Amino acid sequence: MQPTYHYSQTVQQQQQSQPVQWIYQPSFYNGYTTSVPITLNQPSSIVQTYLSPIEQQNQINSQLSPVISSTYPPSMKTSSRFRNAFSCSNQQQTNNSDDEYYYHEQQLNHNLSKHDIERLPVKGDGNCLFYALAEGLIYEMKNDPHQFGTQIRRLFRLPTHFRLVDFADCLRQICVDQWRLHEDYYSQFVDKEKVAFLKEVKKFSKNGVSDSTLGDIVPLTIANTLNINITIFTSVSNLPRIDVKPEHKDNVSLTQKTIYLAYNQYGVGHYDAAYPRT
């Protein structure tokens, strides 16, 4: 089953009536909003436990969805006009007008409002896509603490209190590991005549790096790996919504959820987190 993209599908949100055990109250840390309790002086145990050499990842990878298909999705072939839509950068652009920025903001806000989606800003330092994905996962962990929340915490070995930046680092490393493990599949999404895939993977493994063609396949990689749907609302008038669906829904034990992202294509592009209004 190939990943499918729909531009006008009704937004659906899975909700549980179980009592909430997570405290979900946005706080401000290092210039961006986070939704988890912050322990500033606590050493980062998340990255230390997950970011081990790839040959030591067998136990974790066995819980993740394997990618075995080698067919290039036709919908991705025709997406060159939306190139770099899945990337963000900390570089500054000065050759774009304020009018263009406000146009994209207006277009994105319109798309979000039309689907009753709220935006949660995150810092634009080259990691914004991973911050936004982390916020979306945390939101679903808050809504479903007993099942999805427990599954994610066990998978990532999350302590009771953890930093958003560490969770985002884990998501980046998951992508890097999956690209290395399934090079034959994921390398099809880049122009191998212009890009040395594994060299690009090594480059993308560094914190803050986003000026890479691999940024385009991050949503698909996370969707495949965690068995989640990712819906992206954009500021592009002729491509207002992209739904990224995993290829192998039965190969991982995680309860399937939908994570929402808000993408502003102005300049180098920027991602924010998003979630349904209540």
- How does pLDDT run across 106-152, given as a tens digit for each residue? 999 999 999 999 999 999 999 999 999 999 999 999 999 999 999 99
- How does pLDDT run across 78-100, given as a tens digit for each residue? 334 334 445 454 444 445 578 89
Specify the higher pLDDT residue, 3 or 96: 96
Residue 242's H or E segment, with its range, is strand 241-244
> What does the DSSP assignment read for 122-189?
---SS-HHHHHHHHHHHHHHHHSIIIIIHHHHHHHT--SS--HHHHHHHHHHHHHHHHHHTHHHHGGG
- How does pLDDT run across 168-196, given as a tens digit for each residue? 999 999 999 999 999 999 998 888 887 89
Across the chain, what does the average pLDDT equal? 72
Name the β-bridge partners of 263: 234, 271
Residue 32's H or E segment, with its range, is strand 32-34
d(CA 260, CA 273): 7
Taking the chain, what is the end-to-end CA distance rounded to the nearest angstrom?
33
Q: Please report the domains of the chain, with CATH numbers, ordered by start residue.
A: 45-276 (3.90.70.80)
Mean pLDDT over residues 231-239, rounded? Answer: 94
**pLDDT level of residue 249 (50, 70, 90 thresholds):** low
